[in-house]
C-alpha cells in the first residue's frame, strides 16, 4: 500500500515563551504543497528568510537543537519536529516572530493538539521513506552514549538512560510503532537536575524556564537559602522538595517520563533527515549533540 504525504487543512497558531531566550512569541503552522518539507520562516526579520529543518543546518545543541540558515536562527526545534512526525505531517511552513518557539509545557502535546485542531489532510503525492539497509552506529566514548539504527520493516525506538543518580534511576522506554506516540510520548516533559540550574543561568540559558515547563530533580539535600534563591529565579513565593526528589510536587505522567522524553527528542532530531525513517533505533544515553551527530552519520552512510 502506497502512503501519501500529508499537510494541515488550515493555519493554526500557538503563543508562549521560549525556554532559553525568554522571548515571547507566536508560532503559526501553515499548509504547504507536496514535497515542500518542513520549513521555518522568520517573519520578524527583514525579507522573512527561510530556515529549512534539516540536519545540515544544525548549529548548536546546548540543551536543545538549534538550526540556522544564512545567519538566521531558530532555537529548540526538537519538540516541534516531534509533534509533526507524531501527527504524520510531511509538509508545513512555520512562521515564527522571534528566535525561539514557545516551550509551552515542555512536551509535544500542546502542539500535537493544535495540529489536530487544524486538521491533517492527505495530498496527491507518495510519502518517501528512508529505508535503512545496513547497521549504522554512532558512539561518543567520553559521554558513554551509543545510538544504532538497523534495517527493519517499520520504525521503532528503544531508549535507555542512566544518570548515575539516586533520584533518577536507570530507565528504559520503547516505541514499537508511531501510532503509540501521541498518547504515550507526546505529553512527556523535559527535565533538569537542580544542580544544573545555576550553570544554565550563568550560560544565559533557561531565561524562559519556570516550574510548569520542566521536571526538576534534586539529588542532594538543598539548603533553605538555595530553595529561596531558586524560588526568586522562577518568580515563585516558595518552592519545596517533594517525594521522589522532585521540586514543587510535580506529578509524573509516567514512572519513566524522563526516558520517554528522551525518546521524544530522538523522534524530533531524526526528523531533521527530511523524511521519515524505516528502521530500528537503539539509544543509550542519548542527547541532542549525539542525536544530531547520529543523523549526520546516517546522511553520510546512506548517501542522501
Sign of CA dihedral 213, 250, 265, 120: negative
- Catalytic residue, chosen from 6, 20, 79, 288, is 288
DSSP tag of 100? S
DSSP tag of 186? T
DSSP tag of 273? G
Phi and psi angles of residue 246, each rounded to the nearest 5 degrees, phi first = -105, 135
DSSP tag of 271? G
Q: For residues 18 and 75, is the Cβ–Cβ distance under 8 A?
A: yes
Q: For residues 68 and 74, is the Cβ–Cβ distance under 8 A?
A: yes
Whether 36 is catalytic: no
Q: For residues 117 and 251, is the Cβ–Cβ distance under 8 A?
A: no
Q: Which of 221, 193, 223 is nearest to 206 (CA)?
A: 193
Cell of 101: 518557539
Q: For residues 118 and 98, what is the distance between their CA atoms, to the nearest angstrom?
A: 22
Q: For residues 161 and 285, is the Cβ–Cβ distance under 8 A?
A: yes
Q: For residues 215 and 168, what is the distance between their CA atoms, to the nearest angstrom?
A: 11
Q: For residues 188 and 256, what is the distance between their CA atoms, to the nearest angstrom?
A: 9
Question: Which residues are designated catalytic?
Answer: 288
Amino acid at each position: 500500500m502506497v502512503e501519501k504525504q500529508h499537510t494541515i487543512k488550515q493555519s493554526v497558531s500557538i503563543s508562549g515563551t521560549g525556554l532559553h531566550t525568554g522571548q515571547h512569541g507566536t508560532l503559526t503552522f501553515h499548509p504547504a504543497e507536496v514535497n515542500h518539507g518542513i520549513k521555518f520562516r522568520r517573519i520578524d526579520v527583514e525579507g522573512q528568510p527561510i530556515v529549512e529543518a534539516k540536519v545540515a543546518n544544525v548549529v548548536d545543541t546546548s540543551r536543545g537543537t538549534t538550526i540556522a540558515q544564512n545567519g538566521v536562527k531558530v532555537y529548540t526545534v526538537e519538540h516541534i519536529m516531534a509533534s509533526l512526525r507524531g501527527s504524520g505531517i510531511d509538509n508545513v511552513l512555520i512562521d515564527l516572530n522571534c528566535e525561539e518557539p514557545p516551550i509551552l509545557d515542555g512536551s509535544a502535546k500542546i502542539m500535537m493538539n493544535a495540529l489536530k485542531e487544524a486538521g491533517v489532510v492527505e495530498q496527491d503525492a507518495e510519502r518517501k521513506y528512508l529505508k535503512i539497509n545496513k547497521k549504522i552506529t554512532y558512539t561518543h566514548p567520553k559521554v558513554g552514549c551509543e545510538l544504532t539504527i538497523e534495517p527493519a520493516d517499520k520504525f521503532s525506538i528503544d531508549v535507555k538512560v542512566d544518570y548515575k543518580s539516586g533520584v533518577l534511576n536507570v530507565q528504559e522506554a520503547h516505541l514499537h510503532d508511531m501510532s503509540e506516540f501521541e498518547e504515550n510520548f507526546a505529553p512527556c516533559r523535559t527535565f533538569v537536575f537542580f544542580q544544573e540550574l545555576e550553570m544554565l543561568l550563568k550560560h544565559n540559558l533557561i531565561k524562559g524556564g519556570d516550574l510548569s515547563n520542566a521536571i526538576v530533580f534534586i539529588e542532594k539535600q538543598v539548603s533553605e537559602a538555595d530553595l529561596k534563591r531558586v524560588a526568586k529565579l522562577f518568580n515563585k513565593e516558595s518552592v519545596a522538595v517533594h517525594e521522589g526528589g522532585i521540586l514543587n510536587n510535580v506529578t509524573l505522567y509516567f514512572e519513566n517520563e524522563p526516558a520517554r522524553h528522551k525518546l521524544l527528542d530522538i523522534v524530533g532530531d531524526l526528523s531533521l533527515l527530511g523524511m521519515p525513517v524505516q528502521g530500528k533505533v537503539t539509544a543509550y544515553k542519548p542527547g541532542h549533540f549525539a542525536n544530531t551527530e547520529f543523523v549526520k552519520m546516517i546522511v553520510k552512510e546512506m548517501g542522501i
